[in-house]
Structure 1
Amino acid sequence: MVREADKRAPGSLSALHEELDRLRAVFHLSGDAIFVLDGEGHFLDANQVACERYGYSRDEMLQRHVGDLNTPEHAPHCAGRIEKLQREGAAFFETVHRAKDGRRIPTEINSRLIRGGSSTFIIGICRDVTERVRAEEELRRSNALLLGTLNSTADGILVVDDKGKIASYNRKFLELWKIPEEVAASGDADLALSNAVGYLKEPEVFMKKVLELYNEKEVESFDVLEFKDGRVFERYSIPLRVNDKSVGRVWNFRDVTARKRMEEEQQIFMSLVENSTDLIGIATLDGKVFYLNKAGQKLIGLDSLGEVGERRIQDFAFEKHFKPLQEMLASLSKDGTWKGEARIRDFRTGTPIPIEIHGFVIKDEKTGQPIALAAIIRDISERKNLQEEMARGDKLSSIGILAGGIAHDFNNLLTAIFGNITLAKMYANRQSEVYKRLEESEKAVERARDLTYQLLTFSKGGAPVKKTILLQDLVKESANFVLRGSNVKYEFSSPEDLWHVEADEGQISQVLNNLIINATHAMSEGGVFQVNCRNVIVDQSDLLLGKGKYIQISVMDHGIGITKKNLSKIFDPYFTTKKKGSGLGLSTSYSIVRSHGGNITVESYPGIGTTFQIYLPASEKGNMLPCAEEES
């Protein structure tokens, strides 16, 4: 080779040296490591980058075989690659080299075989791909994480490109829509859709929405899908953007069947609770009330849950009525349940309300641990009133039996006394003092006889002689008679079709007289009270009125009212707050009404007034003649 070079012209030799210099510069200035190996893989040369990368000097490199740079797991492949290179003349592969200090260097190698005369050389250009491998590894990790996340989510996810072809999906999507994996893997969205729409109640609506969203690439969407088998899905759809450009669409499907059923059950439960006529309340374990249904709010006089949430269980009772609630809380803590009676306050009126309570502890279904306190409370005011009415009736009945016996015997004695006084008057001089005394005695006996008759009426109801009467005429007659010359007036109202009653006209007139007299006494300074008649139907029997049609007569005054202490006694015989009263007027009225198969009730508030309500059974002989409203 040297001799051939010597034969060349001087200019040609100079050009060759320049070419060699350029090649040498490229060799040493390249950013990649460059090796020159003999045909067996021993180093003949290495550029500066190679020496620096692997940590060897050039002399150290020239004493090594290229296989020495491989890591143990890659070293066995070295001989095979050299053989392939000699056979094919070129090779491109990746491996991992190891530097002098043990560093692992992922490397991409592009090698070629060069033959020159009898010599063979291998040139290898080695590029450090550590950053790329690291980036690829990170990408693989991210993709694996993303794929794992997609496959672990409870939502079905489908990604399509801007041409509507399936780009990606998770297993939940296949499971929700019952689509074979080979169909989804084919990328054919139309085929996948044809498998899915048959399950829907409204497939046309579903497809219409799909087409709309494919055309409106930037639109986000949400709707609800209902299936023939009762399942319910929520469908979300958003554009898939890359560099702010829409390149497809992401569909998200969530099975909300269980949630919807739970919501429906909750709505049913809440409807039952909210429409219950009983108070239903829930409190925290430390006694803070946070829920009260509408009936409960109405019962205790609160307008909203906001007002309820400001109170604790202890706030719902007056101090003197707190003992039963203390017993309830102690029992709930020990046994988890309690039943009994108590009194809670009406926050609007400040009055106690008799109640029946069933308290219990709400527990977590899974752990069994207490999580809240609850109570179902029933207002038993009406029951208590009925019990009081029954007790009053029993008491009046007992007193009536006694009074009837006494009145009967007393009446016999009065008859004898009256007869003897009459005979004595026949023998006395009309101008004498004796005659005058006999007249006074006769008047006293008559008054005693009247009292006896009242006692008999009270004890037996006076054995009413019933006939069909027009109540509104009787009411007006009684009112007009009692109020003649009084500074108290009345307003009367009655429907035109007021039913008849079968009653003793005299006895009912006596009842009305008593009530109207009481109204005038209560309104001593004058005024107007109301008397109303109306038809009522009792469709549920109670202790004092059976089912059926009744006429209700209300006498409502606006006088001084009756104290709560006295209200429970007003029908008792001989109870009166009047200086000249006998105490038999209302008890007699009660007895008369009860003997007619009816009932009489009273409501009164001091300083506001009193309302008496009389219920008399309607006659079955037809309606009475029309009667217009009248004011007097």
Structure 2
Amino acid sequence: MHPDGHGDLSRSSIGSSSGRHAGADLEGFGPGSPARADPRTSPAARWVAAPGTKVPGPSGLFALIAVNRRPGRADGRGMRVVTGAQARVGARGPDPLDRALADQASEFHVVCDASGAVRWVSDAVATVLGYQPDEYAHAAAGGLVHPDDADRVADALAAVGEAPGLRRRLQYRVRAADGTIRWVEATVTNRLGQAGVDGLVHTMRDVTTRVMHKRRLLERERHLRTIVSSAADVVALLDDAGRIEYVTPSIAPVLGRSRRSLDGGWRDLVHPDDALLAVDVFEAALDSPGQTHGPVDLRMRHGDGGWRIMEVFVTDFRADPVVRGIVVNARDVTARRRVERERQANQTLFNTLVEMAPVGIVLTDDEGAWTYVNARVAADHEVEPETLLGWGWCRCFDPDDVERVRAEFVAWNGEGRLVTELGAADGTERRWRLTLSRPRLATGERGAVGTLEDVTTRRGLDEMLLGGAAMGSVAGVVGSAAHDLQNLLASIVFQLDLLGDADADRVRAVEEAVDRAHAIADDLMSLSRPDKRAAQVVPVGALLVDLTDMLAVLVEHRADLTLEIAEGAGASLVRVDRSGLERVVTNLVVNARDAVDPRGSIEVRVGTVDLDEGSAPGRPGRYVAIEVVDDGCGIAPDMIEAVFEPYVTTKKDGNGIGLAASRRMVRSWGGDLRARSTLGEGTTMTVLLPLAQS
């Protein structure tokens, strides 16, 4: 079969039209084409080229070719028989009707002798290929057939010429008068020896457009077949009975099966428990031709004996003249369904945990409005969860606190955590701690997720724990006392290591440390009652000067310690528990020592500062500020406030008690303990104490 799909019409006829569109390559035309009679010597060619020359032969030649509907001698099929007297070209000028028919003709006729020389050409050649009859004869002699088709055409003509009466149809390419390549379809009939004809009669038409359309259609079909064959989906064509007429090669990698293994039809593939579902979707498709039904998940047996979940679509195309069947599209979604089930199970578990959480959980939008609350938040406020969404939560808290929290949220850049507290709207002492963090989402949303915890009771428990009577919990108190003892006993051990030569100053420092250790031991005798030591007025400068020797021992060989007292600040008085303030400063210096590199710098500064209502820990006024400044590793921004919570620490061997206990004590004196820090640069811990009168 010819590559163009024209069956056994592969070898025929003579120079005619066809091929590509205007401007196609003419390479190969010319001397290499089949041999033709010399147009200067061929009698037929000379007749064509010489208007007025009488057509040789009987008039039967024209009875085979010329079709006319005007009155005249005609056979029963309306073909006008042109007599010899009428067959003169140019003697009386062209017949108007013949010219009109030639101009509208879609095909032309050629008569050749046994050698292939053109004897006669109809005028319609001008309409089909643009040649005048005489021009066509000259062009045919020089080679009109495309070189790639020349041998095939020559062989076909030779075969026709050897069998009288034989007719053959073939397609090939020729050069048109404008230089373009055209495809022509030629029907060649052997009339050699027949009276009035005696030649090979060619009926030729231009089929370029049809050939090009067919080629494009075949190309699209190949393209589609390639896509379908390489696709991951399985596409099957079923008949009315459900038998598989065609299935794409993807059946092998997807279901591990060959086409031959599917002779039983799709029913042999579907899991018995899914059979009814499969029948339903097929019946729905049959009830509405042309409409796709699905998807439905059907389990299908794999070649390895296991089951695969296939997402199936069914469309009834039986009425389509091209498809004429039921199209099934199936893709393997086993892994996807497994992931979806796991995700759904995890989501259910997560939702359950969130709803059962002992603390409130909230989600906010980028402006601070709540978009979700769990059951605990609603229960704490004895309302339905929906009433707290949006800005409904504001009605449950103190208006001043709400305004402050909203301002903090707007100013928050999303780094670290936003920790704040809210009071109750009814004026009671209930307090809630709101802790928010802003996750980095791929969607770019800037909402926050956080917890809302009722800290009313916890506050009291923290005070009791840090004060030494944590609801009778001896472990909590001993932990706090042990922390202080570690600092003091570390000094004692260090001093004992240096007593090679009796040194009165060092011995005195050891004795002072031991005395303080005894004082803490005395504290352990009253575990069940809160700390009720009486505060006294203490000069800050003198207290720190007395403490400097012990502090220097604690940081010796580790850091350089300096004490700087601003002018006039040394005589400043504060009302505190003296030993408690010593413990606070000692704890801050030890923390600084652990944070700096060897030979780092630690500065203890004392000064005074005026604080207004917005910055003062209590009443506005003048405060004594004790700063412990180091150049150590610093504290991460999200840990600045967290380090003051019990059992939160940034040190490898820390217990998280020192800073929490220190802040509790400072606040009990009406002051506060605050921190400023920059990672990699250092930390400043500031003790603020209200100035006392003498």
Tell me the TM-score normalised to structure 2 length. Answer: 0.43
Larger relative strand fraction: 1
Larger relative helix fraction: 1
Greater relative CO, 1 or 2 (CA 8 Å, sep 6+):
2
Tell me the TM-score normalised to structure 1 length. Answer: 0.47
